[in-house]
Structure 1
Amino acid sequence: MEYVGQVPAPPLDRFIDDIYCLTGVPRHRRLNVPPMPSAHLFLNLGEPARLWDSDPSVPSAVFSDGWFMGVWTRRFLVEYPARVRLVGVHFKPWGISPFVAMPPAELRNRWVPVDDVWRRSVDRIRNRIGDLASATATLRAVEDELRSRLAEAPSRGLELVQHTGGWLETSHGVVAVGALTEAAGVSGNHLAAQFKAHVGITPKRLARIYRFARLINSVDTLRPIDWSEYAHAAGYFDQAHFCREFKDFTGHTPTEYLALRRRFPADRDFPPDNGPMPAE
């Protein structure tokens, strides 16, 4: 499967990490996706994709057109069709807020059809980009669509969340929430309320996801692994807590994850392999 991505031009780059196209035959049809510090928009130009929540009480969903996803605090599974043609927008955790009228908390741990968020838009967008021959033209068209939907003025509290969220991003979550509130000059309750409004989760929970993302993306399965060293480098100081969180986020113990990754190595030059793992 081919990946073509680009970082959008300002001011979109303040809210979006990249826009990308996935085309071709996937190496693995079904992927187990741990929590990552991002929200997403997917526009499906191929056969339907199926999604499962790791919570067994939540029914699976099939999408033939497109869907939004907020920040996830637990893992989910995605099953690609036999041949993929998909456009994705990888928002920063707070980045989806200025593009949608729906509160990000309503997108947390959920997939929502595009038309439920952008009323009666998905067919028009898919028809426009579906007729484009090149990935470059497709990405440019999606970027134009996003620019047209960017709110002209940031909503209340977004700049605070963007600033403190940027600190979480650069520190990989290894920063005390107290330090964030002190630097921002606000109370912990106020900061948590603004994060819930613009990210859908608290800064403490987002810090946990950044910390885990740093760890899972730094593991070199080709070398001997000392999990305690990796955990400490990522900011975990309690080995038991690290093991519990690893199992919660991936569905595997560290040992099981390592065995899986050695059987199915991630492609370092293929961003969609960073974090998601084959689901057996």
Structure 2
Amino acid sequence: MEAPRHDTRGIVDPSELLTRVRFRRHEPAEPLRRYVEWYWLIDWDLPEPYASHIVPHPSVNLTFQWDEAEGPPYAEVTGVALGLYTRKLTGRGRVCGVKFRPGGFRPYTPGTPTSRWTGRALPAEEVFPTATADAARTIVTPTDDHTRVTALDTFLLALPHTPDPQADLAMALVRNIRTDRTVRRVGDLAETHGLSIRALQRLFSTHVGVSPKWCILRYRIHEALNHAGTHTDIDWATLATDLGYADQAHLVRDFTATVGVPPGAYAQGTEGRQRNQK
């Protein structure tokens, strides 16, 4: 399995976020890596509120959170968010998150299609009875990363799960979409892997929570977002072609609908903020 990546794909204006919070990724214990992509830890202590924005991956997340001014620690399951995910950060707080691989949450909830969680955030105790307030406190209150990561390992290793070859297939297919920019059509993906389009759609609905077409489009936006945040003098027409769009207008439309601003405006705003931080 892949080790945690160090890119910031999906984070809107990552340089701005990283000036506000401490963000780290850690590998889970080896037996968990089949289904868990990484742990992500965030701590903040802010003089004024800040809203972070994420273009989510097709992953389910289990988070243990503590907003110190709001109340005691708690745990939450967040399904794949279909639009921009916004989290308002205030005062002092921290999150210890578990990012499951796309398709990797299903073995922990074998009786429930992953699409049930799509677009939802709910108390984790409704999904995992052991995700109590006491469990959240054990995980999120230690000050050092090692203790938090060990507590996450302990919690997850105790969860029952059912190995599922279909989950393994779903994880492999989503990884194929993410890493191979030539994957542009659902029909071609299905044919390459010996599946009908309908069977592929059912597999993704049950194990990933979103359609294969949604995954293809979402990873295109991740690439465009990353490009807009790290390059200047972008040839948007060429980028649109490289990402598999019919034309630049389709890229602009999808980017604007997902991120909230056109890609050119986003790139200019990011470049300006980066200059001001130097």
TM-score for the superposition, normalised by structure 2: 0.80
Q: Structure 1 63/96 Cα, relative in aligned 2: closer, same or farther at 3 Å?
A: farther
Q: Does 2:125 correspond to 1:108?
A: no
Look up the equivalent residue of 1:123 and give its one-letter code.
Answer: A
Separation in structure 2 between the aligned mates of residue 90 and residue 143 of structure 1, nearest angstrom: 13
What is the aligned length? Answer: 253
8 Å CA contact 1:172, 1:214 repeated in 2: no
1:20-59 to structure 2, matched below 5 A, reads 20-25=40-45, 29-47=50-68
8 Å CA contact 1:20, 1:87 repeated in 2: yes
Out of 150, 171, 174, the residue aligned to residue 140 of structure 1 is 150
Q: Does 2:237 correspond to 1:217?
A: no
Equivalent residue for 1:245? 254
- Identity between Structure 1 and Structure 2 (%): 25
Separation in structure 1 between the aligned mates of residue 128 and residue 212 of structure 2, nearest angstrom: 27
Alpha-carbon distance, 1:173 to partner: 7.3
Out of 194, 197, 202, the residue aligned to residue 206 of structure 2 is 197
Q: Structure 1 130/76 Cα, relative in aligned 2: closer, same or farther at 3 Å?
A: closer
Alpha-carbon distance, 1:242 to partner: 0.9
Q: Structure 1 69/203 Cα, relative in aligned 2: closer, same or farther at 3 Å?
A: same
Alpha-carbon distance, 1:157 to partner: 2.4
Look up the equivalent residue of 2:39 and give its one-letter code.
Answer: I
- Structure 1: any 5+ residue segments left out of the alignment? 50-61, 267-280
8 Å CA contact 1:37, 1:210 repeated in 2: no
Q: Does 2:116 correspond to 1:96?
A: no
Q: Does 2:90 correspond to 1:81?
A: yes
Out of 165, 171, 178, the residue aligned to residue 180 of structure 2 is 171
- Structure 2: any 5+ residue segments left out of the alignment? 1-20
8 Å CA contact 2:65, 2:140 repeated in 1: no
RMSD across aligned positions (CA): 2.7
8 Å CA contact 2:50, 2:89 repeated in 1: yes
Q: Bigger CA drift: 252-261 or 189-198?
A: 252-261
Q: Bigger CA drift: 138-147 or 163-172?
A: 163-172
Separation in structure 1 between the aligned mates of residue 273 and residue 74 of structure 2, nearest angstrom: 29
2:158 counterpart SS class: helix
Q: Residue by residue, what CA displacement relative to the aligned partner does 1:32-55 show, whole Å, maximum 9, x if unpaired?
A: 322433321211123378xxxxxx
Q: Residue by residue, what CA displacement relative to the aligned partner does 1:179-226 show, whole Å, maximum 9, x if unpaired?
A: 322232221101110110011111111111112112212334562222
Separation in structure 1 between the aligned mates of residue 159 and residue 229 of structure 2, nearest angstrom: 40
Q: Residue by residue, what CA displacement relative to the aligned partner does 1:62-107 show, whole Å, maximum 9, x if unpaired?
A: 9962211111221132101222211111222212222235431121
Q: Residue by residue, what CA displacement relative to the aligned partner does 1:88-147 show, whole Å, maximum 9, x if unpaired?
A: 112222122222354311211111111221125231312322453411111121022122
Q: Structure 1 106/252 Cα, relative in aligned 2: closer, same or farther at 3 Å?
A: same
